[in-house]
Amino acid sequence: MPKVREGTEEVERCPECGSRHLVRDYERGELLCEDCGLVIDDQFIDQGPEWRAFDVEQGEKRARTGAPMTYTIHDKGLSTEISWKNKDSYGKSIPTRNRAQLYRLRKWQRRIRVSNATERNLAFALSELDRMASAMGLPRNVRETAAMIYRKAVNKNLIRGRSIEGVVAASLYAACRQCGVPRTLDEVAGSSRVGRKEIGRTYRFMPRELKLKLMPTKPQDYVQRFCSELKLSGEVQNKAAEILKDASEKELTSGRGPTGVAAAAIYISSILCNERRTQREVADVAGVTEVTIRNRYKELTEKLGIEIQL
């Protein structure tokens, strides 16, 4: 079992979903949760203050690959730059007595530019948020919660060195949790312009840094959506809910990724109700691996005494 140091704690479980299925992506030096996809460690953690190391590295990576680092340069030459030279437009030196005024003007111009950029970034973020939320069919309260989380993230400077799209997606992911309609990282990534890893990497600091109160999600939260995506009947859905109820009474759900447990219960129910779906199909919808489903369904069938014909 890989161990990572985060602060002073040894982490063996995903802080997000409680899963013990952590995998190392050696190529990228990352520790990932196999169940929910959260990037738990990406090797910068031991190198001093987390945020700073993280931001610098991200910034450098972006600079190297040439992707836009921020949206702060927005006025593309449309505004009049007050030159740093103390010369007027004819090239004549500006008298010392007028220079103080010039300094003030420059200072104001900088301030105005910054606040314009902030406004513009916010407008862009909110439109991206709306686009994603409607693509995901999320209700109004989730959008509003996500907008609030996004603003908090900006105020806390969590946006620095990250893409606006990534922070928007992570805010939406957090908002779904907070509003009790959790979506998987895969689902959020499906409507985002950035990938699941970037979203997970951006999200992982949010609960702590923004003091968000997020209830742990339960496997039950996912059953209806996964079943409808798999085009399974209400019967399968009820059966899965029943299995999960028994499982939680026997404490078979704690410390395991909720999406993986939900997927396994659905897999079992689909077989019991003669609407069989493959492990692959269920895994894809739930955003977990087939190995996870296999482990969970073995555990559930054994400990709950369910017999299924494979």
Three-state DSSP state, 34: coil
Contact segment (CB under 5 A) with Zn ion among 9-17, 92-100, 122-130, 244-252 equals 9-17
Contact segment (CB under 5 A) with Zn ion among 27-35, 41-49, 93-101, 243-251 equals 27-35
Q: Identify the CA nearest to 37 among candidates 25, 52, 50, 49.
A: 25
Q: Which residues contact 98 (CB under 8 A, 6 or more apart)?
A: none
30: tokens are 């990352």
Contact segment (CB under 5 A) with Zn ion among 35-43, 62-70, 209-217, 267-275 equals 35-43
Contact segment (CB under 5 A) with Zn ion among 34-42, 55-63, 184-192, 287-295 equals 34-42
190: tokens are 């499906």
Rounded distance, CA 160 to CA 140, Å?
27
Residues contacting Zn ion: total by CB under 5 A: 8
Rounded distance, CA 241 to CA 235, Å?
10
Give the gyration radius of the chain's Cα atoms. Answer: 25
17: tokens are 């979903």
Please state the closest distance from residue 119 (CB atom) to Zn ion, in A. 36
Please state the closest distance from residue 9 (CB atom) to Zn ion, in A. 16
Residues 244-283 that bind Zn ion (CB under 5 A): none
DSSP for 56-124, please give it: HHHHHHHHHHT----S---STTTSPP--SSSB-TTSPBPPHHHHHHHHHHHHHHHHHHHHHHHHHHHHH
Main-chain dihedrals φ then ψ at residue 49, nearest 5 degrees: -55, 125
Instruction: By CB under 5 A, tell whether 16 contacts Zn ion.
Output: yes
Please state the closest distance from residue 247 (CB atom) to Zn ion, in A. 18
Rounded distance, CA 295 to CA 279, Å?
11
Please state the closest distance from residue 63 (CB atom) to Zn ion, in A. 31
Any bridge partners for residue 24, and if so which?
31
Instruction: By CB under 5 A, tell whether 292 contacts Zn ion.
Output: no
Instruction: By CB under 5 A, tell whether 19 contacts Zn ion.
Output: yes
Smaller CB separation from Zn ion, 82 or 214? 214
Instruction: By CB under 5 A, tell whether 167 contacts Zn ion.
Output: no
Tally DSSP H helices, then E strands, for the chain.
12, 5
The single residue among 31, 33, 154, 170 that binds Zn ion, judged by CB under 5 A, is 33
The single residue among 22, 32, 35, 169 that binds Zn ion, judged by CB under 5 A, is 35
Three-state DSSP state, 145: helix
The single residue among 31, 32, 36, 285 that binds Zn ion, judged by CB under 5 A, is 36
Smaller CB separation from Zn ion, 19 or 270? 19
Contact segment (CB under 5 A) with Zn ion among 10-18, 114-122, 201-209, 240-248 equals 10-18
Residues of the shown chain interacting with Zn ion in the complex, contacts defined by CB under 5 A:
14, 16-17, 19, 33, 35-36, 38
